[in-house]
Amino acid sequence: MIDAGPNEKIHPVAKLVAVVNALQAEGVDPARALESVRLSRDELASAATRVSLNQIIRCYRNAVRLAPDWRFAYRAGLRFHVSTYGMYGFAILTSANFRQTMRFAQRYHQLATPLADVSFKEEGEQGVWTIAPLPHPDVDDALYRFLVELQFGIHESLHRDVMGPAFKPRRLEVAYGPSSDAPDYGETFDCQVAFGQAENKFIFDSAWLDGAPTMGNDLTYASALALCDQLMEEFQQRAGVVGQVREALLVNLARPTSFNAIAKHLKIATRTLRRRLKEEDTSFRKLLDELRAQVAIKYLRDTDLTVEDIAQALDFSEAANFRHAFRRWTDGAPREFRRLART
């Protein structure tokens, strides 16, 4: 996984465009969908445009607010196709083996501008995709649901593109509870939906993996794979020094780490590192704050660690200091955030 900062404009604009177009199809003016995103119509229409994760998240928060009903996220996901993803999508389409396709899609998922970590495994008669939305301070309960259900729609659409229009999941599992205004989940997704599970899962019959891809071609796939490797290298380069600092901070997040120590680790002069971070519109303290927020959110959502344990793991001197920081990150208390995330 390439570790890029949330403000780095390194991602293709396609994933943002697809949701703006889905809102427009529902009668929403694109200008409203782009409020606070700081993206012009011309930039939206250009394949050369690069956006940050924060810009995509702002757009999706607008979608949560503007969508006509709760089904919008899933319907928007169904509008995504392999053609949305450029060379990444072409490689998926030309793989000559569906199990190979699953491995590729997971390994190169970074090229799809992910707002969720995904993993795949085959369990007996089931193929299982596990979906974990990014731990970001702006991903509240409503946006968390949006990201999961958007991804369900995307997964279903992409599987249909490569496996045929008859494909459908067997079962969906979500880590949240049912919404009172959305009683027909099973009818909407056309499969069983289980709430209050440990993880979000997209489950289908593994027999689908035994089929033969209609466009599979080993030579074409090898060429597409080489281009995807090149794209990953370019993506890493675009991530720049911010990605290197974030990676170094993640390794040392549980113990005191100074700016000078990180500069020494990266073999960059402190003055140079400070200047390069400023050029990328961030700072050492801001990166450390962002990482602490993301890890805290992940711990609260996905583990049973106490607030005191999380504070210690993030190198806060006292739990009270962690609570104060968490309120600054999310406008809420840690225990309340955990309660809402699990209801």
Give the domain CATH number at 305.
1.10.10.60
> Above 80 in pLDDT, residue 190?
yes
Q: What is the mean pLDDT of residues 196-211?
A: 96
> Lowest-pLDDT range, 109-113, 158-162, 284-288, 327-331?
109-113
Give the pLDDT of residue 143.
95
Give the pLDDT of residue 237.
65
Total domains in the chain come to: 1
Q: What is the mean pLDDT of residues 7-27?
A: 91
Reference 289, options 6, 60, 12; nearest CA is: 6
Q: Which of 15-29, 40-54, 169-183, 305-319 has the highest mean pLDDT?
A: 15-29
Q: Tokens at residue 336, please?
A: 């309340």
Q: Which residue has the tokens 């309120």?
A: 327
- 217 domain-assigned: no
Share of the chain above pLDDT 90, in %: 56
Burial-class residue 142 by CB neighbours within 10 Å (0-12, 13-18, 19+). Answer: middle
- 318 domain-assigned: yes
- 326 domain-assigned: yes
Helix or strand (DSSP H, E) at 186: helix 185-189
> Above 80 in pLDDT, residue 333?
yes
**1 versus 231: which is more confidently predicted?**
231
- 111 domain-assigned: no
Q: What is the mean pLDDT of residues 85-110?
A: 92
- 289 domain-assigned: yes
- 154 domain-assigned: no
Give the pLDDT of residue 217.
92
**2 versus 173: which is more confidently predicted?**
173
Give the pLDDT of residue 182.
61
Range of the domain at 273: 240-341
- 187 domain-assigned: no
Q: What is the mean pLDDT of residues 191-214?
A: 95
Give the pLDDT of residue 1.
46
> Above 60 in pLDDT, residue 209?
yes
Contacts with 237 (C-beta within 8 Å, 6 or more apart), sequence order: none
Burial-class residue 55 by CB neighbours within 10 Å (0-12, 13-18, 19+). Answer: buried
- List C-alpha distances in Å: 143 to 212, 270, 277, 303, 323: 37, 38, 29, 20, 22
Instruction: Name the pLDDT band for 179 (thresholds 50, 70, 90).
Output: confident
Angle of CA points 97, 102, 104, to nearest 5°: 90
Q: Which residue has the tokens 């699953």?
A: 102
Which DSSP string corresponds to 7-28? T---EETHHHHHHHHHHHHTT-
Reference 79, options 34, 139, 35, 15; nearest CA is: 15
- List C-alpha distances in Å: 51 to 16, 104, 170, 218: 9, 24, 35, 33
> Above 60 in pLDDT, residue 321?
yes
- 249 domain-assigned: yes
What is the tens place of the pLDDT at every residue in 246-265? 878 877 776 767 899 889 88
Q: Give me the chain's average pLDDT, please.
A: 89
